[in-house]
Structure 1
Amino acid sequence: MTVALASDLAAQVRAGQLPAAARLMTWAERGDPRYVELAAGFADQLGAAARLGFTGPPGAGKSTLVQALCRCWREQGRSLGVVAVDPSSPFTGGALLGDRVRMADLALDEGVFIRSMATRGAFGGLASATDDVADVLDLLGRDLVLLETVGVGQSEVDVARSADLTVVVLHPGAGDTIQAMKAGLLEAADVYVINKDDLPGADRLERELADALELRRGPLTEAHGQAEPRQPPILRLSASEGRGVHALAERLDQLLAQGAADGSTATRRRANLGRRVRRLVEGRLLERALSDGKLQRRLDQALARGGTLSAHALAEQLLCALPHGGSPRPDEDDT
């Protein structure tokens, strides 16, 4: 595809053409150089879409909740994009597409664009190209972009870094509070949702969450001399029955408006952009360093010599062999 045709593709996405958006997302997921070039051209056109992250342990009902919220916002005439990060197949590396199957009724609505992505081993349960796919949905003109993770446990905080607001979905009777504390979700959450609140243990879970949030707020504020942080609300609902979903949608809209007014959303977006840049730089430096095999050959030679080896020392030796440009220096045998 020529440069001109690639530019036309971005224009087609801006015009709301869904096939063009799907192709651009595919380029983004593959790391296609054409996407990299186009992204530089439309970066200043992004930012209108609010991004909401949904995370929590498996079985909490995240997909059901996202589906219910989509219906609620569609009733208001708002357009939506959903990025559902599914587990990767251990054999093909592709997404299992479970969320797309569960949201089949929404897939027929052109006002809801659903994109399933594979984690491909990405840390934090979020595929590495999730931000780029969300950018394409923003370019497509979606009002809201919903990011849903696989719920891998310890590293859900990645969602908070990619979203304007993060919703942590829990359900009674599964040790969710302890897991949330281990995963750092107390710090990541902007809203807590107790789904399936008609099950035994819902009252206890709500009390434990409230106590944990209160314990976190006091010591952190005193120790760092910070202003008292915003206390995340705890909302109870049943996504499968639709009970409480409209109240959650209203609360999320209120928090988004508040974030836009006080500048906290802009601050989060700048921080996320910085993390994206660092991640890309790290990945590209590593790719360049390993591209011609010289670094791997140096490592193989060091391992073949045997003896007591320190992983840190070997890593330092390999780093010292790299010039500032990020490509390996010529092997001694090559000179």
Structure 2
Amino acid sequence: MREGAPTGELTAPANSVPPGLAERVRAGERAALARALTLVESLPLEGASSGARVPPDLAPLLAGRVRAHVVGVTGAPGAGKSTLVGRLAVHLRERGRRVGVLAVDPSSPFSGGALLGDRVRMAVPVADPGLFVRSVASRGHQGGLALAVFRMVRVMAAAGMETVLVETVGAGQNDVGVLGVADTVVLVLNPATGDEIQALKAGIVEIGDVMVVNKADLPGADETYRAVTSALDIASSPDPGWRVPVVRVSALQDRGLDLLIEALERHRIHLSSGPAGLRRRRIQAEWELRAALLAAVERRLVAPLTASGRWAHLVDRLASGELSADEAAEAVLGSLNP
């Protein structure tokens, strides 16, 4: 079910948290979940401009271990990620799992709102009470993930979602930020488009826990499958205890989804039964800490400079060529010890 404000409408002030919102989210109230997601998504923008921090009434939703299985779905643009995520969500629901979906979209450089609205293309049942789909703007963050994504995953898990699917923007080999939020990363490849060559390179392919050759009904799918399988046979794995499976799927024809779900479940069990799970949680903690730290730096450093007019002055000097970017950055840091 698609609920909540459109991603670009981040107008609710952080201090307008309805009483008892956290308790209502944990009780599974959909309206409360939609409201909480809108509030936590708006926090980074408000924090940068007004010094706002997480309101106490929201803080309980953002603490503790995330108990949901968080699955990140990434790959090049046009790989069919949205359709795949939609069909995957439906199949998980058929197995009785409560599913949350976060579709990370490219964002407008002006309003910050999402540009594509991938959730519109997922074709999921709109009346299913156990399925909640929400778009979120990437806001230009490296790897396509903003601090809001980490927070929104936590809120969905607090609301009782057993699986949270995070679909990333899709930025080729730079789209590695999903590793910081996902327990299991699904890398989606296109047949006969050269995507199999990525399996021979360092980069995003190294973070894939499950490889999916999507559009398996198209010519070239078998060749892509063989190329990726062969590449994985000779590649070194960051997790020696896990053999990365390659699954052929046709999301459009609804084929291969059960095999994909079985692979996801095997990886979930793998993480829960050995040291790999602890390593993944440490990676997630470090990425989330870095995202929170960058937001805090902007909140405490950039916001005062903006309010005083010094930020605009530095931007003007940089634009005119009077300063280099490194010199402007040093001037910003120097404001800490005037």
Query: TM-score by structure 2 length?
Result: 0.82
Matched residue of 1:169: which SS? strand
Residue 291 of structure 1 corresponds to which residue in structure 2? 303
Larger fraction in helix: 1
Residues 125 and 149 in structure 1, CA contact (< 8 A), matched pair in contact too: yes
Q: Which letter maps to 1:139?
A: A
Query: What is residue 254 of structure 2 aligned with on the other side?
Result: 242
Amino acid at match of 1:196: K
Query: Aligned to 2:227, what secondary structure does the other structure show?
Result: helix
| C-alpha distance in 1 between matches for 2:101 and 2:61 | 21
The total of aligned residue pairs comes to 316
Amino acid across the alignment from 1:116: S
Larger mean CA deviation between 243-252 and 272-281 belongs to: 272-281
**What's the offset of the Cα at 1:298?**
7.4
Alignment-mate amino acid for residue 179 of structure 2: A
Q: Does 2:336 match 1:322?
A: yes
Query: Could you tell me which amino acid in structure 2 is paired with residue 200 of structure 1?
Result: P
Question: What residue identity is the alignment partner of 1:48?
Answer: R
Q: 2:21 aligned with 1:15, yes or no?
A: no
Shift of 1:207: 2.6
Aligned match for 1:70, one of 67, 89, 94? 89
Is the Cα contact below 8 Å between 2:17 and 2:58 reproduced in 1?
Answer: no
Query: Identity over the aligned pairs, expressed in percent?
Result: 42
Q: What SS class does the counterpart of residue 169 from structure 2 fall into?
A: coil
Structure 1 pair 310/78, CA: closer, same or farther in 2 (3 Å)?
Answer: closer
1:278 alignment partner, SS class: helix
Q: Give me the whole-angstrom Cα distance separating, in 1, the residues matched to 2:215 and 2:234.
A: 26
Confirm or deny that 1:230 pairs with 2:245. no
| Inter-partner Cα distance in structure 2 for 1:107 and 1:198 | 28
Q: Flag the 1:243–1:71 CA change in 2: closer, same or farther, 3 A.
A: same
Match of residue 52 from structure 1: 71
Residues 103-127 of structure 1: CA deviation (Å, up to 9, x unaligned): 3442221110001112222221224
Which AA in structure 1 matches 2:279? T
- How big is the shift at 1:68? 1.6
Aligned to 2:10: none
**Match for residue 3 of structure 2?**
none
1:26 aligns with 2:38: yes
Deviations 1:235-277 (A, max 9, x none): 1121122221111111211110111111422331232122222
Q: Which has the larger radius of gyration?
A: 1
Question: Aligned pair 1:125/2:139, yes or no?
Answer: no
Identify the residue that residue 333 of structure 1 maps to in structure 2: none
CA shift, 1:55, in A, is 0.6
Root-mean-square deviation (CA, aligned residues, Å) is 3.0
Distance in 2, Cα, partners of 1:133 & 1:264:
24
Separation in 2, partners of 1:99, 1:302 = 39
Task: Report the 3-state secondary structure (helix = DSSP H, G, I; strand = E; otherwise coil) of the residue aligned with 2:196.
Answer: helix
**Alpha-carbon spacing, 1:89–1:40, altered in 2? closer, same or farther (3 Å):** closer
Shift of 1:142: 0.7
Tell me by how many angstroms 1:278 deviates.
2.4
In 1, Cα distance between equivalents of 2:324 and 2:108: 34
- In structure 2, relative to structure 1, the CA distance for the partners of 1:2 and 1:186 (3 Å cut) is closer
Spell out, residue by residue over 1:164-207, the C-alpha distance to the aligned partner (whole angstroms, 9 max, x if none).
00000111121112346667122110000001112221222123
| SS of the residue 2:135 aligns to | strand
Closer/same/farther in 2, CA of residues 282 and 2 from structure 1, 3 Å limit: closer
* 8 A Cα contact 1:172 1:200, kept in partner: yes
Aligned residues of 2:83 and 2:123 also touching (Cα < 8 A): no
- Counterpart of 2:206, as a letter, is E
> Can you give the 5+ residue segments of structure 2 that lack an aligned partner in the other structure?
1-12, 47-51
Alpha-carbon deviation of 1:156?
Answer: 1.4
User: Unpaired runs of 5+ in structure 1?
Assistant: 324-328, 330-335
- Give the direction of change, closer, same or farther, for the CA distance of 1:133–1:304 in structure 2 (3 Å limit): closer
User: Letter of the aligned partner of 2:230 in structure 1?
Assistant: D
What SS does the aligned partner of 2:212 have? strand
- Return the letter of the residue paired with 1:8: G
Who is 1:177 aligned against? 196
Question: For 1:140, which of 139, 159, 181 is the aligned residue?
Answer: 159
Taking structure 1 as the reference length, the TM-score comes to 0.83
Structure 2 counterpart of 1:282, from 284, 287, 294: 294
Return the alpha-carbon distance in structure 1 between the equivalents of residues 251 and 318 of structure 2: 55
Q: Contact 1:298–1:318 (CA<8 Å) still a contact in 2?
A: no
Q: Which residue of 1 aligns with 2:283?
A: 271
